[in-house]
Amino acid sequence: MVQNGCVISIGTAILNPKSILNTYISAIDLDSIFLETDDSTISIKTVYDQIKFLKSIELESLISILQNNFNKTFR
């Protein structure tokens, strides 16, 4: 899907070590994602922190990439 220009929204499932998403996250380009929590009581910062850890990226860089993704998608 990502190869066809789709953007993937990643939520609190990324916090579950048994989630299949954890298997594939290393292959997903950050330029192809959004992060969300939907109705969860878990904060979006927790999701950001997990992606930071899994992708070895600084928070400022992650925020910049996600803002750019938003701008590209919703311009």
In terms of Cβ atoms closer than 10 Å to its own Cβ (0-12, 13-18, 19+), residue 39 is: exposed
Q: pLDDT (tens digit, 9 = 90+) per residue, 7-64? A: 999 999 999 999 999 889 989 999 999 999 987 899 999 999 999 999 999 999 999 9
Q: Hey, what are 67's tokens?
A: 């803002």
Rounded to the nearest 10°, the torsion over CA 1, 4, 47, 41 is: -60
- For residue 8, the Cα-to-chain-centroid distance in whole angstroms is 8
- pTM to 2 decimals? 0.86
Find out whether 44 and 69 touch, Cβ atoms under 8 Å.
Answer: no
